[in-house]
Structure 1
Amino acid sequence: MYSHVFVSVTDFQRAFGFYSAVMDSLGLQLRFHQPAKPWAGWHSASGARPLFVIAHPYDGRPHDPGNGQMVAFAAADRRTVQAAHHSALQHGGRCEGPPGLRPQYHAHYYGAYFRDPDGNKLCVACHEPEAASA
């Protein structure tokens, strides 16, 4: 469905450290890292797309996290949700909702919410039952 998701950041090096840790906990692979541009992108092991990209805003104006916008990453199991959330908080992120079941979405929705150091809202979610995700 998606070609890529682009998230703007203000301090590229800080953001790269944050996202490298979170992407590593999700098992996503770094596809490119060009600090001089500056931008970086990750993809899943299954192929080149979709990409998740961080960079300074393309138009050169200051970064402004959008209200009501969020990028949600799929996790294979609940332990991965927990690891990604922990990694995010250890690397400058801020909690927006700890790992846990959210039955208001569906019976097996297990997610965690956090913001990156620039205020962009992120989610990591597993949609599998506990037995299947263990």
Structure 2
Amino acid sequence: MSGGISGTSPSIISHVSIGTNRFGQARAFYETVLATLGIRIVMEHPSAVAYGRQYPEFWLHVPHDGRPASVGNGFHIGFIAADKAQVHAFHEAAIAADAVCDGPPGPRPAYGEPYYGCFVRDPEGHKIEATYWDAELSRKLYGE
């Protein structure tokens, strides 16, 4: 496959979206926190905004059905960090913007030795994560 998002993205996911009951507050939270990872608003509508580095990958929106948004138990979104410093910056920005820590920055050997990440709950309770995968360490441990 060539061209377009499908031909250039290493991701297997087109996008994810979460609902919010406080659009303005949630937009400000994600704009601040995702900026630590080089992620910005790439598209917006009156009740929805999309974040990404090149194209819309993470959507924040008021639910289309008019019902209140709710948090899914067992669901979380992991954002890619370029290095451990970005994981820490993400965590610090999230906590400063009223998130709740759900796992401080650090290694998670149960997820693999190259894994380093943090978890927070956004102001509405959605679980989000910044994660760094050390590709060099991965090659040493697991081969190419």
The aligned residue for residue 119 of structure 1 is 125
**Local SS of the residue matching 2:94:** helix
- Give the structure-2-normalised TM-score: 0.82
Q: Of 12, 35, 58, which aligns to 2:23?
A: 12
Which structure is higher in RCO with an 8 Å CA cutoff and minimum separation 6?
1
Q: Of 80, 83, 100, which aligns to 1:77?
A: 83
**Local SS of the residue matching 1:84:** helix
Which structure shows the bigger proportion of residues in helix conformation? 2
The aligned residue for residue 101 of structure 1 is 107
Taking only the aligned residue pairs, the percentage that are identical comes to 35
Q: Of 39, 47, 51, which aligns to 1:28?
A: 39
Displacement after TM superposition at 1:130 (Å) = 9.0
The aligned residue for residue 43 of structure 1 is 52
The aligned residue for residue 93 of structure 2 is 87
Question: 4+ runs of 1 displaced by more than 6 Å?
Answer: none
- CA root-mean-square deviation: 1.6
**Local SS of the residue matching 1:104:** helix
Gaps of 5+ in 1: none
Query: Contact 2:31/2:40 (CA < 8 Å) preserved in 1?
Result: no
Larger Rg: 2
C-alpha separation between the residues in 2 aligned to 1:120 and 1:130? 31
Q: Deviations along 1:23-76, whole A, 9 cap, x unmatched?
A: 110101211233xx21111111xx325x11101112111111000000001111
Gaps of 5+ in 2: 1-11, 138-144
**Local SS of the residue matching 1:80:** helix
